[in-house]
Amino acid sequence: MMFAAGLAACAVALVLALVRAMRGPTAFDRLLSVNAIGTTVILGIALHGYVMGRPEFVDISILYAIINFIGTFAVLKLFDTGGLGDRGGRARPELPPGEEGK
C-alpha cells in the first residue's frame, strides 16, 4: 500500500515537473524542472529497489544522482560562459607579445 502511495506521489511530481518544463518562461525554469524530473526518477528507482529487495538499485540511483548533478552544473556553465572548456566562451585568446594593440 505504501509502495503504491509513494509511486503515485512520484508520478504526480513528475507530471508537475513536465508541465513546468513545457511552460517555463525562461531556460532556468526549464533547467530546474529537468533537475526535478531527475530527482523524481532517482526516488522512484530507490523506492522500487527497496520494495523488490534489491539493494543494488540504491547504487544505481546514487550514480544517476551524480550524473544529474554534474549535468546540471555543465548546463549552468554553458549558460554562464557560453562554453564548456577551461576558458569558456568569454575568454579572449592569448596574443603574442607586441601584438596587443593591433
Q: Are the beta carbons of 12 and 21 closer than 8 angstroms?
A: no
Q: pTM, whole model, 2 decimals?
A: 0.73
Can you give the pLDDT at residue 3?
Answer: 82
Provide the grid cell at 52: 523488490
List the alpha helices (DSSP H) in 1-102. Answer: 2-23, 27-52, 56-81
- pLDDT score recorded for residue 7: 86
pLDDT at 14 over 90: yes
Residue 23 has pLDDT above 70, yes or no: yes
Cβ(49)–Cβ(58) below 8 Å = yes
- Range 71-76 average pLDDT: 88
Backbone angles phi, psi at 29, to 5 degrees: -65, -40
